[in-house]
Amino acid sequence: MDAAIKVAGGVYVAIQKANELAVNKYPEKDENGNYKEIHNGRGDALKHCYLSALLYKEFGEGLATDFMNAHEQVTPTVPSSLLGRIFGPVPFTERPFTVRSENPIDEKEMDLFNNALGRQIAAENPTATSAQLSELCATAVSTGKAKVLSGPAKNVPTYKENPLYYLSHLEDDSVRAAFEAERRRFFKDLQSNKQGLQNNILAQQAAQSFARQAAQLAQKSAQQAAFAAAQQAIRAQQQAIQFAAQQAAQRAAFEAVQRGANQQAAQQAAQQAAQQAAQQAAQQAAQQAAQQAAQQAAQQAAQQAAQQAAQQAAQQAAQQAAQQAAQRAAQQAARQPTYQAGPPIILPSPAAAPPKNFPPPPPPFR
């Protein structure tokens, strides 16, 4: 009893871990608040893979395989046929087998494959922790090793898309045999109801003929309506053209009037501008001429004043120099003594002989 409780508790914890990992890894929700990837998507594949790996690690391959496959096994207690969802309801007494109503054949195949993938990962990594197993399973899902029926990572068809795929890929031989038996029974019923099928075909042909006649009438009505609409559109277009022409003429007349008024205003503005420019030019020329005349007059006056001042200074300096020279001459004349004239001095000629008592010249220096 204690062992069963321990197993049940371990399975419960493993289920909780697998659900939390799937939700945390793929948290996207749809407009109704449901997780997008939890049913038949990557979250569903990750949940089965990780749960199977945890059970393999904790309890071994036998319990992991039996527990995970129990949800997918065929059971006669659930009133739902394998093909009932596709071909319509079948009386319970005529069903060769029944499966769980919440797990169609394509979902069963996906879950069985992902369960086996989880057991394989756990077997290949016997020392891996729970966290490492979760990473390995997540990598397997993200790289496309797991089977996914819906969502952006879909890599296998559904039963409705390709029923023959599941004839060759079902892992459970009993399910494959039951599937083939029900498929044969279904086609046998079709052959036994040929008259009903023929009646259905005639009804379909009559409905198609009626639909064609209705389509032809609708097409004629649509053509007539289109022709009337085209005529109305032509009339409206003509009216629009006339209205546009009138508006264009009015705009042209208004623009012509505006152009005439603008030309007069431009001429007046040009005349005023020319007058103002001429006045300003005359004023500037007069100012420049006055300034130049004043500058020239000032320069001439300065030159004349400088020349006059120079002449006066020269005259004054000459007068002062003459006066000073006369004064110095008078003073010198007053200071010089008077001399009397004596006999003239006679100098000997250069050719005369020296006197006898004159000493001889010194000897030459050697």
Rounded CA separation 202/256 (Å): 78
With beta carbons less than 8 A apart as the criterion, state whether 81 and 95 touch.
yes
Q: Mean of the per-residue pLDDT values for the chain?
A: 76
pLDDT of residue 285: 75
346 φ, ψ to 5°? -110, 120
pLDDT band of residue 236 (cuts 50, 70, 90) is: confident
Strands (E) across 6-47 are located at none
Rounded CA separation 120/65 (Å): 11
Which secondary-structure segment (H or E) carries 294? Answer: helix 194-335
Q: What would the two tokens of residue 110 be?
A: 């996906």
Q: For residue 329, count other CB atoms closer than 10 A to its CB.
A: 10
Q: Which residues pair with 213 in a beta bridge?
A: none
pLDDT band of residue 96 (cuts 50, 70, 90) is: very low
SS3 of residue 35 by DSSP: strand
Rounded CA separation 295/211 (Å): 113
Rounded CA separation 16/18 (Å): 5
pLDDT of residue 170: 56
User: What number is the average pLDDT over the span 131-141?
Assistant: 95
User: What number is the average pLDDT over the span 277-302?
Assistant: 80
- CA-CA-CA-CA torsion sign (197, 200, 204, 206): positive
Q: What would the two tokens of residue 240 be?
A: 């629009």
Which tens digits make up the pLDDT trace of 244-262?
878 888 888 788 777 877 7
Q: What would the two tokens of residue 53 be?
A: 């790996």
User: What number is the average pLDDT over the span 202-224?
Assistant: 79
Task: Find where tokens 């032809």 sit.
Answer: 216
Q: What's the helix, strand, coil split of the chain in %, to 5?
A: 70, 0, 30
Q: Is the pTM of this model over 0.75?
A: no
